[in-house]
Structure 1
């Protein structure tokens, strides 16, 4: 059912009646909703209706914003399928449209788009003289980033609804105010700080986290990509060990290279892991202390514990290591093309044919690794910190001596 677009649907608390076991009885509305959902599943499995496309199983009036959203979601999926693109569950979970719809749906789902005005998004509350409407509500509840995402999706949805003749293309009410993007994160880590962080994680018993941090630093992968690395993705050449994997966000092929230091950390971790866990070829390598693969939440929780042990006021994230590697490479003279290959993104305008016939370009990735090493020394000298590199065996030796 999940593969066909169905998902869990939350009902009300039920009641006021009670069943034989004393639990609240389903309300009449919930019973009717359950019948509708069951009927939708019957129509889909019999091939009488198209499967929902990660939209919502709620039935909206024809011509409403919700109706337009469901059609737009179906068209977006059709466009991907036409190109032979099938999203993974990870890519679907990163889709901004369903996330924005959690705000847009309750506010506008059953409305005629032509009845929506700018003041629904932003106005002055006459009682408090403060900003009110959907935009400030999102910012107060979550963040400016969430507001920017929701309005951005709304504007894209309006264009699609206009193409469906639900509304006037030039009458988007959200165009009456700006949707300024939030300032991007600019926090960075220095190489020496990461070495110390890996050491502290190891000492605290977070062996999987220590190896994950070391791999994330050298590979410049995002946290979601690094925690999904499997033994089947390991490769090696004259330059050392690396992992070949597709990025979760874009699906682009990435070459996650390691340095002798991060490889030593990884080997030490695997030796520890071998005492009680046997890794299957396609199972995630990095595990938390319970032996379970790291999830988004457990990885973040463990990382924050180690970070707090080093500096309770530090708010930097594991994801900031990806940016930090780009800063190192830039300081060392790495080219934009090599950075693009290293990060498996389109930060550089690379030749399309070269990407087609040499998607990972390991030589380019290695060049950027060399530029990072040069940049790290320059940044350490600039900050007045020693440039000595400590290997994991040396750190562990110091631990035993203490």
Structure 2
């Protein structure tokens, strides 16, 4: 990798800023600050003949000139002389290359959604695994002819060290087995798309199928109901009121943390039993009815009463006890609540990172620093409870808004083997016979949260 120098004037003599030889190609790689202004990675030629002082193939003069032009464009933006940021993020891949096929595949995936009337939210786009996988696949294969890609590009033995090398070991060592599993899944799906689009890899076998892409062992950790009660109590006692309400909601609704964290007042609804939220899950996009019990409803009401604010329909429900510290600058008094001349903390809607950090604090307070179970394990815990109680896989699938009944891996993930599940079938027959003779009892559940929300709306409408 080249050391960055300030001068770019002498082509072939001085090292050019941000111009380096990476993964078999010369590339112009901008910094994080440059990416914020619209600059992106630009892939160029392979270089040669001959080698430079670092032993890399000498770059072509055309590539060096292109890198210098990009540096000049950045200098214009940095100095304020360019009124609009330069855009270089759209890499132009050669026709017939993997990158060219990837861009077409992404457009086709979007067209498929639009044809069905499905428009992804920004949250769903961020959770799309294809762009995430392309961060690994693009630098390796983006400008390559698919016909030249071999299984050894993914996995091979280094002749010098005797260790496994290639894309697969690199991902596992730098990130995780889960990341490797996701990347290879996307590669295989992309290869299928390339075959369907013709002209890329017609009649060829996917080199990514020459080795197993085994999934990582699923997490098996669960929370017991009494442990969740303890977590909620500890959170409330230490003034993590938003977290306490979020945990209670996540436990009863069996929503993932990210889905629970982003619930809004406008999603609240009710049926003959009690409160629930209508939503589309961020990961699957499937409609979900997040039902609550009297216990979680009571905590949610207490939390909203404690907030003492009127909620708009689009306002997130769960807020931190204090977000980022805000300092008053100068003597303008721009932060009205800060009368002490120093700092005060402004509550913020929970983000994914802040939710995880606050949960870790409460978990340590409740069970010690050695405890490593996560908030997301509550979703699995609910599945275990339902399975032990005799619930059908179909009911579980509806509750969790996924297709657990059609996936052995999902079932293994959310229903780890337990003795209660083995004993459940014997007990379920007797329980089922009794239920058939019972009448459905009318619920005496009131709807205080809905009433509270309606009162807030009336007050808001009256103030207009």
TM-score, scaled relative to structure 2 = 0.64
Instruction: Tell me the residue number matched to 1:60.
Output: 93
Superposition deviation, residue 251 in structure 1: 2.3
Change (3 A) 1:137 1:79: same
Q: Is residue 296 of structure 1 aligned with residue 329 of structure 2?
A: no
SS at match of 2:275: strand
Specify the SS of the correspondent of 1:256: strand
Q: Which of 95, 99, 108 is the equivalent residue of 2:141?
A: 108
The match for 1:332 is: 389
Residue 11 of structure 1 deviates from its aligned partner by 5.5
Alignment partner, residue 280 of structure 1 = 312
Alignment partner of 1:91 is 2:124: yes
Q: Does 1:79 align with 2:112?
A: yes
Post-superposition CA distance 1:340-395 (Å, at most 9, x none): 2211222247xxxxxxxxxxxxxxxxxxxxxxxxx9xx9xxxxxxxxxxxxxxxxx
Report the equivalent of 1:203.
237
| Secondary structure of 2:302 counterpart | helix
SS of 2:212 mapped into structure 1: coil
From the superposition, tell whether residues 8 and 306 of structure 1 become closer, same or farther in structure 2 (CA, over 3 Å): farther
Specify which of 348, 357, 362 is matched with residue 306 of structure 1: 362
Could you tell me how far apart the structure 1 residues matched to 2:106 and 2:36 are?
Answer: 15
Residue 246 (str. 1) matches residue 280 (str. 2): yes
- Is the Cα–Cα contact under 8 Å of residues 159 and 169 in structure 1 kept in the other structure? no
Q: How does 1:336-355 map to 2 (within 5 A)?
A: 336-348=393-405
| Kept in 1: contact 2:249–2:260 (CA 8 A) | yes
* Residue 139 of structure 1: aligned partner: 172
If you compute each CA radius of gyration, which structure gives the higher value, 1 or 2? Answer: 2
Query: In structure 2, how many angstroms separate the alpha carbons of the residues matched to 1:27 and 1:145?
Result: 39
| Structure 2 unaligned regions, length at least 5 | 1-34, 42-66, 323-346, 407-423, 428-464
Counterparts in 2 of 1:1-400, with a 5 A limit?
9-10=38-39, 28-31=69-72, 57-163=90-196, 164-274=198-308, 277-290=309-322, 291-309=347-365, 310-348=367-405
C-alpha distance in 2 between matches for 1:138 and 1:67: 23
Task: Name the residue aligned to 2:451.
Answer: none
Q: 1:74–1:186: structure 2 CA closer, same or farther, 3 Å change rule?
A: same
User: Counterparts of 2:203 and 2:188 in 1: how far apart (Å)?
Assistant: 10
Query: Could you list the per-position Cα deviations for residues 161-191 of structure 1 after superposition, in whole angstroms to 9, with x for gaps in the alignment?
Result: 1223211343322122111111111111100
Partners of 2:382 and 2:360 in 1: CA distance: 20
Distance 1:314 1:80, change over 3 A: same
TM-score (norm 1): 0.73
Give ranges in structure 1 of 5+ residues lacking alignment.
1-5, 13-25, 42-55, 350-374, 379-402
Q: CA RMSD in A?
A: 2.5
Cα distance in 1 for partners of 2:108, 2:247 equals 39
Higher helix share goes to which structure? 1
> What's 2:45 paired with?
none
1:242 aligns to what SS in structure 2? Answer: strand
Contact between 1:187 and 1:320, CA under 8 Å: does it hold in 2? Answer: yes
Aligned-pair CA distance for 1:120: 1.1
* CA distance in structure 2 between the aligned counterparts of 1:191 and 1:31, rounded to whole angstroms: 61
CA deviations 1:61-93 (Å, max 9, x no partner) are 111111111011111111111121111111111
Higher alpha-carbon deviation: 252-261 or 186-195: 252-261
1:214 Cα deviation from its structure 2 partner: 0.4
Offset at residue 286 of structure 1 (A): 0.3
Contact in 1 for aligned 2:73/2:86 (Cα 8 Å): no
- Number of aligned residue pairs: 316
- Kept in 1: contact 2:154–2:208 (CA 8 A): yes
SS in 1 for 2:283: coil
Equivalent residues of 2:259, 2:282 under 8 A apart? yes
CA offset digits 1:99-118 (Å, max 9, x no partner): 00000001111111111111
Please say if residues 188 and 316 of structure 1, whose CA atoms lie closer than 8 Å, have aligned partners that are also in contact: yes
